[in-house]
Amino acid sequence: MNNMSEFAERTAVVTGAAKGIGAAVAARLATAGAAVVACDVDGDALHEHAGRLRAGGARVAEVVGDVSSAATAERAAQVAREEFGGAQILVNAAGIQRYGTVETTDEGVWNEVLAVNVTSIFLFAKHLVPLMRAAGGGSIVNVSSVQAFVTQTDVVAYAASKGAINALTRAIAVDHAHEQIRCNTVCPGSVDTPMLRATAERFAGDRDPADLLADWGRAHPLGRTARPEEVAEACVFLAGPRSSFVTGSEMRVDGGLTATAGVVLPEEGR
């Protein structure tokens, strides 16, 4: 659905907007008529993506900075207010992945993952909620993961952060429902992003990383990884008026991964 009127007169702040899911969300919202404040720590990639969107007629402002910093969140709110008159939408798509168990994960790595994946959501919501209140309501969408529910090995910090995102989402939803500010989370399975490709490169060994990506895709009942644009559609639905009675929810966009039992009946006897 590319309805230019759906998000007309609305402004969205999107974190992690330079690449992957965040970039797809920024593009989808811009296509639907929203003004976008795009935030990312990678200034070059952010400027390139924002430039492409502006070339297509989109209204996009850039905020370069560490999303786990209060100064970056405050700056994003300021830009939204000064350039677009406020904000009604926040999509927290920034995130990082690190590997290790509770024994092998360094305390600094633990703090880094929690800061980027969770504290950034707290900070951006803290600074954007007042703008939403002034606008008469709004929508916050937090990108979590199926690893809020199930987990692979060696991702203790990442899994903990994703569970925290879901709990934080519920708390924001309950605290601000009376102000018509909704908050929901999208929980993807494996998504073909630069982060996933970097993981494949790291763990492929002698294999072609593309083969490892294909294996991960086959673990999903739909038989493939998701495209960032598919996750963006869920985020935009939750950000917009079509989901006006949805808050505190967890939308799984995982190709059936968390619906799957590990026990498979043999072909013989079926």
Instruction: Give the pLDDT score at 2.
Output: 46
Does residue 4 form part of some domain?
no
**pLDDT tens series, the chain, 270 aa:** 445 678 999 999 999 999 999 999 999 999 999 999 999 999 999 999 999 999 999 999 999 999 999 999 999 999 999 999 999 999 999 999 999 999 999 999 999 999 999 999 999 999 999 999 999 999 999 999 999 999 999 999 999 999 999 999 999 999 999 999 999 999 999 999 888 888 888 888 888 989 988 988 899 999 999 999 999 999 999 999 999 999 999 999 999 999 998 787 787 766
Asked, for residue 265, whether it belongs to a domain, the answer is no
pLDDT at res. 199? 86
**Chain center to CA of 220:** 20
Residue 266 lies in a domain: no
Residues 6+ apart with CB under 8 A from 99: 154, 155, 158
Q: What is the extent of the structural domain holding 15? A: 11-191+226-254
Can you give the CATH number for the domain in which 145 is found?
Answer: 3.40.50.720
In a domain, 111, yes or no: yes
Cα-based torsion angle of the residue sequence 216, 219, 222, 224 in order, rounded to the nearest 10 degrees: 10
Q: Does 140 map to a domain?
A: yes
What sign does the CA torsion over 29, 35, 37, 40 have?
Answer: positive
For residue 267, being part of any structural domain is answered with no
Residue 1 confidence (pLDDT): 40
In a domain, 17, yes or no: yes
The label of the residue with tokens 């673990």 reads 219
> pTM here?
0.94
Selecting among 84, 122, 158, 216, the annotated active-site residue is 158
- pLDDT tens for each residue of 94-116: 999 999 999 999 999 999 999 99
Rounded Cα gap, residues 80 and 12, in angstroms: 8
Q: State the DSSP H helix or E strand holding residue 185, giving kind and residue range, or none if neither.
A: strand 181-188
Cα gap 224→215, rounded to integer Å:
8
Catalytic status, residue 158: yes
pLDDT at 270: 60
In 7-155, where does DSSP find H-type helix? 20-31, 43-55, 70-84, 107-114, 120-135
Query: What is the domain count for the chain?
Result: 1
Q: Is position 205 within any domain?
A: no
pLDDT (tens digit, 9 = 90+) per residue, 169-180?
A: 999 999 999 999
Structure tokens at 46: 């952010």
